[in-house]
Structure 1
Amino acid sequence: MDWLLKLAFRQIIERGSLIIRSPSGQTLSFGDGQGPPVGIRFTDRMAVVALVLDPDLKLGELYTDGRLIMEQGGIYDFLRLVHDQPAALRKPLLGRLVDRARLALRWLSHSNGAARSRRNVAHHYDLDGRLYDLFLDEDRQYSCAYYETPEATLEEAQRAKRRHIAAKLALRPGDRVLDIGCGWGGLGLYLAGVAGAGEVLGVTLSDEQLATAQRRARESGLEGAVRFEMQDYRAVEGRFDRIVSVGMFEHVGLHNQRTFFEKCKSLLADDGVMLLHTIGLSDGPWFTNPWIDKYIFPGGHLPALSELMPWIEKSGLVLTDVEILRLHYASTLRDWRERFMARRDEAAKLYDDRFCRMWEFYLAGCEAAFRWRNVVVFQLQLARKQDAAPLTRNYIEEGEAALRRAEAGSGRSAVPEGRRLASV
């Protein structure tokens, strides 16, 4: 198998220093020798074959199963070395054929009906809540943060994300808000407790998230203003002045993108505004990473703007603003990964070492994708009418300034008297 390793990695590694110990015991070196060396070891011959034939799926599986072992550096160091090469990753012919087949067949695996959506959500979000406490911020924001400065802490960046989204919603006193995919309730509580929403309904398909969100609403004294329910977005009824959805659209699936936008239009008031925050691809449609789809987010799909725009247009919604958050999620995942690794022993007590390797690869792989590949975050502002949103973007900065004052509890508040969330 040594010849196969040489054939594969000589095409990929031009700079840096990669040292591979093969199952035969031979040591192979690749790159120009510059920089800190990264060393890996394969435990068996079939591990080499698997990686060469299908790296998108097998790299994560081999690391998780302990068949690819890091001997110098960590798995993130290996991913950084592989991605940070002068030329794009070169796959062998068979690998390129596998990619084409996955792209052609991706429609078959993304039919997320109500029952399947519930199972997909439970697979990831109904894990032991103590796991998320190991690496998320204190508000349990499990989506891309907004780093206003490179030195911002995770807590500061997540607070800035809530503030940025609330400002883009251009909330008016008493507005009724729908939060699709409300997570553990942090954004809904912020919109009601700081941003001045009159009523917030948050919907989720996760039992664990729902229980936490409802408890937080009770403890904050905002039960009258915020309501969290177990409900599929397709079953929501009523009209809302504002709709927000953060980190949920990735789970909608290819088949349901049109349904999602048509449903949102039916729920949005005539003068309403919607903010959709979703991971996406900057260079066109592609298939979901097979390892992520199998082990982390089953049924998930990252859309390209070219996929979204036809459904937005056909739904009758108007696109009023677009912002691309390019490297913010890379920084978020860096912070999550470093916190997770610092408390890895605690995660192993909740689950086991194999689970920890899987989650380390998940966090490291996603960070690499946002830092060096084509993965970004889209924030799309949508409305039913052209004049629903302000004509210039000045209102965003002004809104953020008002929200900062409200958070600090001084100056002119962005929330009606008696409705400030003390924990924010």
Structure 2
Amino acid sequence: MTLLGLLEEYVRDGTLRLELPDGSRREFGSGTPQASIHLHDAAVMRRIAYDPGFEFGQTYMEGGWDPGQHGLRAVLDITMRNFAAMFAQRARHPLGILRKLLQQGNRVRRAYRNVAHHYDLDEWLFRRFLDRGMFYSCAYFERPEMTLEQAQEAKCRIIARKLCLQPGMRVLDIGSGWGGLAMHLAEHHGVRVDGLTLSREQLRVASEECTRRGLDDRVEFHLRDYREHQGRYDRIVSVGMFEHVGQPYYGAFFRQVDDLLGDDGVMLLHTIGRTNPPGTTNAWLRRYIFPGGYTPALSELTAASEPTDLMITDVEVWRLHYADTLAEWFRRFQEIRAEAAEHFDERFCRMWEFYLASCEGTFRHWDQIVFQVQLSKDRQTVPITRDYLCGD
């Protein structure tokens, strides 16, 4: 089917206007929201029609089309809300074992390489669009008027409650990122934290900040894969890392957590997930943003954890918090976009803004959500009601 045919068939909610390479204009759908696209080349139309999931982002990176006055977020909002059903159907084809290993075969060496692709980008970039604490994961907007900084602090508070922390406990942070959560837990809850990262840039930045805040005696960061780590911990937390594990290694991940966690320990897993059955990762996102990445269905998490001594004691689903987080990241990136184009180049800026805006769309209109899964080995460790999560 041609691009015009696809738009004619699917666009119903909102108005999408196209300016074609020959100067003619077409309009699809009706009402609000509204967006427009200026296509620069007829070949772009053919490429998008052939493989919209990959080529829509690829041709934008290449400058093959530009959004109109309403901007890129508006274009992706309309296209993703109208094409959700089509892409959900395409994503439900099960992956064969070989294909899973090819796409998500994240052995230790490959895991380091995959993380370096994204997280070893210059600190300069992340400092300019993240919050002051450098949290690169979903914030928790308890109130709509919260700033990003306030919402990230709220996330730290709810994670700490779910971990049931006591002063002096040993905590392992798997995928410690820029170090914000580990330092928050040490400062506010009197625990000792080991953080694991595969990013040399994150290790450098987190370690320097830890020293600056006088936390070297309570927090230590390591360049180490979770499979390489040894020790025994009272609590384990992992935020925004499980998406990089790969489905073939889910069992190994939970077995390692089981080995590292004490008999009365608690683990909190915070990960992007999906509402639909197991599927695939978008090809454009897999190539340019998160090689080896995959967001699990809840059924995949439970199946992988069940053979261990870990018991799921609580599951919470965050639906739109990440959409709001990504929208704020996009806004902040636009404020420094001209600087970013000089620091990197125009192609990089197009890639980055398409990544942020399209991922926002997956949380608003497609199947992406966030799971917070609490696990324990002893049914007595965690309170039997959820009242403890409502404290100050």
Fold in common (TM above 0.5): yes
- Is 2:192 the counterpart of 1:195? no
Aligned to 1:294, what secondary structure does the other structure show?
A: helix
Percent of pairs with identical residues: 47
The one-letter code sitting in structure 2 at the alignment partner of 1:187 is: L
Residue equivalent to 1:370: 363
Q: After alignment, is 49-58 or 65-74 more displaced?
A: 65-74
What residue number does 1:185 align with?
179
Contact preservation (8 Å) 1:201, 1:227: yes
* 2:306 corresponds to which of 313, 316, 319: 313
Seen in structure 2, the aligned counterparts of structure 1 residues 306 and 101 have a Cα distance that, compared at 3 Å, is: closer
Amino acid at match of 1:129: E
Conservation of the 8 A alpha-carbon contact between 2:330 and 2:353: yes
- Name the counterpart of 1:68: 65
Which amino acid in the other structure matches residue 213 of structure 1?
A
CA contact (8 A) 1:288 1:302 kept: yes
Q: Which amino acid aligns with 2:170?
A: R
Return the index of the structure with the highest Cα Rg: 1
Hey, what does 1:167 align to over in structure 2?
161
For residue 116 of structure 2, what is the aligned residue in structure 1?
Answer: 122
CA distance in 2, matches of 1:99, 1:244: 30
| CA distance in 1 between partners of 2:4 and 2:176 (Å) | 48
User: CA shift at 1:375, angstroms?
Assistant: 0.5
The CA distance in 2 between the partners of 1:16 and 1:193, in whole Å, is: 48
Q: Distance in 1 between matches of 2:151 and 2:19?
A: 41
Quote how far apart the aligned CAs of 1:154 are: 0.2
Q: CA deviation at 1:46?
A: 2.2
Which position in structure 2 is the counterpart of 1:234?
227
Q: Counterpart of 2:49? A: 52
Counterpart for residue 10 of structure 1: 8
Q: Where does 1:25-424 land on structure 2 (aligned, <5 Å)? A: 25-32=23-30, 34-35=31-32, 37-85=34-82, 88-90=84-86, 99=91, 103-104=95-96, 105-197=99-191, 199-398=192-391, 401=392
Counterparts of 1:58 and 1:18, CA distance in 2: 18
Structure 2 stretches of 5 or more lacking a match? none
SS at match of 2:68: strand
In structure 1, the gaps of 5 or more residues are: 402-424
Deviates more, 1:116-125 or 1:22-31: 22-31
Residue aligned with 1:388, SS: coil
Residue 99 of structure 1, CA deviation: 4.8
**Greater than 4 Å deviation, 4+ residue runs:** 98-102
Contact kept, 8 Å, 1:83 with 1:89, in 2: the verdict is: no
Q: In 1, Cα distance between the equivalents of 2:84 and 2:262? A: 46
Q: CA deviation at 1:107?
A: 4.1
Give me the whole-angstrom Cα distance separating, in 2, the residues matched to 1:241 and 1:19: 56
Offset at residue 321 of structure 1 (A) = 0.6
CA shift, 1:100, in A, is: 6.2
Distance (Å, rounded) in 1 between the aligned partners of 2:215 and 2:72: 43
Q: How many residues align?
A: 390
Given that 2:33 and 2:74 are in contact with CA atoms closer than 8 Å, whether structure 1 keeps it comes out as: no
- The aligned residue for residue 406 of structure 1 is none
Report which stretch shifted further, 383-392 or 166-175. 383-392
Paired with 2:117 and 2:84, the residues of 1 have a C-alpha distance of 33
- Shift of residue 110 of structure 1? 0.7
Tell me the CA shift for residue 394 of structure 1. 1.6
Q: CA deviation at 1:102?
A: 7.6
Aligned alpha-carbon RMSD (Å): 1.7
Amino acid at match of 2:366: R
TM-score calculated relative to the size of structure 1: 0.88
Q: Distance in 2 between matches of 1:90 and 1:322?
A: 29
Distance apart, 1:331 and its partner CA: 0.7
